[in-house]
Amino acid sequence: MGYLINSYEKSITAQGVIIRKGGGGAPEIFLVHDRGKEYRKPAGWGLPGGKVEKEETPDDGLVREVEEETPFRVSGCYFLFSEEKNQGVNEIQVFLTEIEKETRAALPAAEEEIDGGRWFTPEEIFKAPFAGPAVENGIYFSHKARIFRALRLLNLWQPLAEENTSPPLHPPPPTGGWRRRAAPY
């Protein structure tokens, strides 16, 4: 009798941290607004990016996703760090993403997930609520943590003494109780 081997392909998601100098020299980070249609997640703000296709490298997938979801053209991307999720089945790779000036005024009409984007300061991100069943249009918890990790790696953000030095390890429980996600199959 043989053993059944669980064969799977690792899913890779690439996300881009797009930074510019804002007024007064402070960094600003571009986030996209997700309508929340997939997997019953709430609408919210997060990093541009998405799943890397089988024939793509992670940086090629990042360029494709950023150009689909934002009004920018990518001129370069630099690997910052990666995270494994779901016991190694999923990997998220985060890149510092260089952009050219805005190349179009609006997102492509075919983009169904994303309906806009804007620049945020680190302080706005830090103080924003987490997106969840009870909070529409907050910032996704995992994205918030990745943004601050990237900013710290790049020495672009130092919290004020009166602020907590890092985002909490877990998002606060939603006021309406936890919602179970539907199985993906």
Distance set, CA 104 to CA 30, 100, 101, 120 (Å)? 15, 11, 9, 20
Confirm whether 88 is domain-assigned: yes
**CATH (domain of 16):** 3.90.79.10
Expressed as residue numbers, the domain containing 134 is 12-153
- State if pTM tops 0.85: no
**Per the structure, how many domains does the chain have?**
1
What distance in Å separates the CA atoms of residue 35 and residue 115, rounded to the nearest whole number?
7
Identify whether the C-beta of residue 16 lies closer than 8 Å to the C-beta of residue 95. Answer: yes
Pairing relation of β-strands 138-139 and 44-46? parallel
Per residue in 164-185, pLDDT tens?
A: 444 444 444 444 333 333 333 3
Per residue in 73-111, pLDDT tens?
A: 898 999 999 998 877 778 999 999 998 876 666 555 555
Confirm whether 94 is domain-assigned: yes
Confirm whether 143 is domain-assigned: yes
Confirm whether 31 is domain-assigned: yes
Confirm whether 159 is domain-assigned: no
Confirm whether 171 is domain-assigned: no
Confirm whether 166 is domain-assigned: no
Task: Tell me the residue type at 124.
Answer: E
Confirm whether 66 is domain-assigned: yes
Q: DSSP readout, 126-178?
A: HHSPBPBTTBTTEE-HHHHHHHHHHHHHTT-----TTS-SS--SSPPPPTT--
